[in-house]
A and B are shown apart, each in its own frame.
Chain A
Amino acid sequence: MIKLSRNRRGITPVLSSLLLTVIAVAGMSIAITATYVITDGLHESMGERLIVEDVWFTTGQVSLYLRNVGKVSIKVAAVYVNRTDQSFTSLELEQDKHGWLTVTYGWSADSAYEIKVVTRRGTNVVDYYVSPS
């Protein structure tokens, strides 16, 4: 111990190697994390699948029954009726789950409506539905 504290030759290369190792490990960790984040985000957006099982026009409302047929959970972010943003009840569906999405909308009888459901990751389902007479 006394010998080590007196003889300090060779300490600098050890320290520099150590520092370089730490930098290399940190760099690799950042690279691996970035890889995981990029692929995970792509996985999620590519794995989203959503269908509308049924549409029910009731007084002042349009209810859509949605089913998640994809590989990831989904959350509805927006609903458009005739390209206009509408208010709706929040809906989050796990894989293979299903449920009602109620949209507040004053519809007219015997008219066609373009209804578009958009998820948080940007997947959208759009179709025309005719209201009852």
Chain B
Amino acid sequence: MLWTITCRRLKRDRRGISNIIVIALSLVIILAIVSNIIMWNYEMNQVDWEKMKENIIITNVERVTGSQFTFENDGSLTVHLVSLWIINSTDHQRYDISVFVNSAETKNYLRDDISLPTGSYTVKVVTERGNTAVYSGS
């Protein structure tokens, strides 16, 4: 009964309807902006969180036919290694690599085309998420 009366009154009296429409549309726009920002912020936080959880170590570097590198993943996420650097006092050489190391796994990586320099050197690997592991040898 009350509902019917209210409906009738609303049908007759249309003053203020435009205000309600404007407020509703504004709310929709604000909601769209806020939800968009929150979603993106959440995604980027996830990226930073994953980067923080990565922990890769170079445990050994050996001269074989070429060079052999041993990587150990001490983190809880699978690591994707994308860059390998061989650095000494005269040269900074970068190699593109694509090595996946599972969590708690130790992996040997052999490269025939890389020869380690004589004297002291530094080996550096960079992960796809932006972390770095360094090994010093001679």
Contacts and interface: CB of A to CB of B under 8 A. Distances in A.
Interface in B113-131: 124, 126, 128-130
Contacts of A132: 89
Contact of B37 (A28, A39, A49, A53): A39
Given A28-B25, A67-B83, A35 B33 contact: yes
Q: SS class of chain A's interface: helix, strand, loop or mixed?
A: mixed
Contact of B40 (A43, A49, A51, A65): A43
A28 B24 CA distance: 12
A77 interface: no
Interface residues of B, number: 24
B41 A46 contact: yes
B94 to A, nearest CB: 7
B93 to A, nearest CB: 10
B133 to A, nearest CB: 12
Q: How large is the interface on A (under 10, 10 to 19, 20 to 34, 35 or more residues)?
A: 20 to 34
Contact of A67 (B37, B89, B126): B126
Interface of A: 28, 31-32, 35, 38-39, 42-43, 46-47, 49, 51, 53-54, 56, 65, 67, 69, 71, 96, 98, 132
Given A51-B126, A54-B87, 14 more contacts: A28-B25, A31-B25, A35-B33, A38-B33, A39-B36, A39-B37, A39-B40, A46-B40, A46-B41, A51-B132, A53-B85, A54-B94, A69-B130, A132-B89
22 contacts: A31-B25, A35-B29, A35-B32, A43-B36, A43-B40, A46-B37, A46-B41, A46-B44, A47-B40, A47-B44, A49-B47, A53-B83, A53-B94, A54-B85, A54-B92, A65-B92, A67-B83, A67-B130, A69-B51, A71-B47, A96-B128, A98-B83
Interface of B: 25, 29, 32-33, 36-37, 40-41, 43-44, 47, 51, 83, 85, 87, 89, 92, 94, 124, 126, 128-130, 132
